[in-house]
């Protein structure tokens, strides 16, 4: 089901599997300290993630594999057909992991799922961090359509600096990576085909989220238009927005140190 926690560079990552909504959900865990729940992008876990390693130095990180993604079995989750369903699965995963008071960090697509979770989460949600979040409809631009390009093309589009992509995935990602991306894409298609990666109701629903929120966007995000981060900032009652210069969609992969510092500072505030 998963690429296993060994895909994460540093030691001390473990993997647990818990039953949620009738199916197994695997979670990579590391670190100690206040609980932080990190939700991945729609193209799954990256091989190695310095951002998570850095965060694990100060926090107790839970980093799930979305069901069906990353070499999973999309057909086994055939009922999972919209982002709110996934948000509910993730919301139910938190108590299943014993996380009662938790901050949530969502990356890209995971930012959308985190936002959906926050709209129905009262006490217990400490803080919310949305990194280049999808999920709201841009007024002028469009969210990059992954379904008419290859999975590798999509992953490359997430970077301002292609050399950083190649440092992580290699100049030619291996077959195992491509196969993982293919299941990611199928699940993303099940969940986000139409409307493509937004929920028109979300800005209204976000008005009820009281947890402090930090939004971080790459200044050169080719996947999610910059205006989406601004819509989030304006819709959340207690949010600040920070931009990382010369950075694409995958802020955690392009500037892991910068993002980890921003997130840690915000979570400790």
The residues binding another protein (CB under 8 A) are 74-75, 147-153, 173, 175, 178-179, 182, 185-186, 188-190, 193-194
Question: Which two structure tokens, joined as six digits, stand for 38?
Answer: 């990190």
Instruction: In whole angstroms, give the CA distance from residue 44 to residue 40.
Output: 6
Minimum distance from residue 158 beta carbon to another protein (Å):
16
Closer of 11 and 75 to another protein (Cβ): 75
Using CA atoms, how far apart are residues 240 and 229, in angstroms rounded to an integer? 10
Nearest to 208 by CA among 91, 120, 114, 126: 120
Q: Least CB distance from residue 157 to another protein, whole Å?
A: 11
Of 130 and 188, nearer to another protein (C-beta) is: 188
Nearer to another protein, 50 or 184 (CB): 184
Q: Output the DSSP codes for 129-146.
A: EEES--BS--SSS----G
Of 27 and 157, the one with the shorter C-beta distance to another protein is 157
> At its nearest, how many Å lie between another protein and the CB of residue 179?
6
Polymer length in residues for the chain: 269
Q: How far is the CB of 254 from another protein (least distance, A)?
A: 20
Nearest to another protein of 83, 203 (CB atom): 83
Distance (Å, rounded) from C-alpha 145 to C-alpha 252? 21
Please report how close the Cβ of residue 190 comes to another protein at its closest, in angstroms. 5
Inter-residue contact 217 to 244 (CB < 8 Å):
yes
């Amino acid at each position: 089901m998963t690429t296993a926690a060994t895909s994460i560079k540093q030691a001390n990552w473990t993997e647990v599997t818990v039953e949620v909504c009738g199916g197994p959900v695997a979670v990579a865990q590391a670190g100690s300290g206040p609980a932080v729940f990190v939700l991945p992008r729609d193209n799954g876990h990256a091989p190695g993630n310095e951002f998570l390693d850095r965060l694990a130095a100060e926090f107790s990180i839970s980093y799930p594999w979305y069901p069906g993604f990353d070499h999973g079995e999309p057909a086994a989750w055939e009922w999972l057909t919209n982002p709110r369903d996934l948000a509910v699965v993730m919301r139910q995963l938190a108590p299943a992991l014993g996380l009662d008071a938790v901050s949530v960090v969502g990356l890209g697509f995971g930012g959308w799922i985190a936002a959906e979770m926050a709209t129905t989460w009262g006490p217990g949600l400490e803080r919310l961090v949305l990194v280049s979040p999808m999920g709201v409809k841009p007024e002028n631009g469009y969210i990059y359509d992954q379904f008419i390009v290859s999975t590798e093309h999509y992953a490359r589009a997430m970077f301002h600096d292609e050399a950083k992509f190649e440092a992580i995935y290699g100049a030619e990602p291996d077959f195992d990576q491509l196969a993982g991306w293919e299941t990611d894409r199928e699940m993303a298609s099940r969940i986000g085909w139409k409307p493509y990666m937004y929920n028109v109701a979300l800005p209204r629903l976000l008005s009820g989220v009281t947890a402090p929120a930090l939004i971080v966007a790459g200044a050169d995000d080719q996947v999610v238009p910059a205006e989406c981060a601004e819509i989030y900032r304006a819709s959340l009652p207690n949010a600040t927005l920070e931009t990382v210069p010369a950075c694409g969609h995958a802020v955690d992969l392009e500037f892991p140190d910068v993002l980890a510092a921003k997130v840690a500072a915000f979570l400790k505030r």
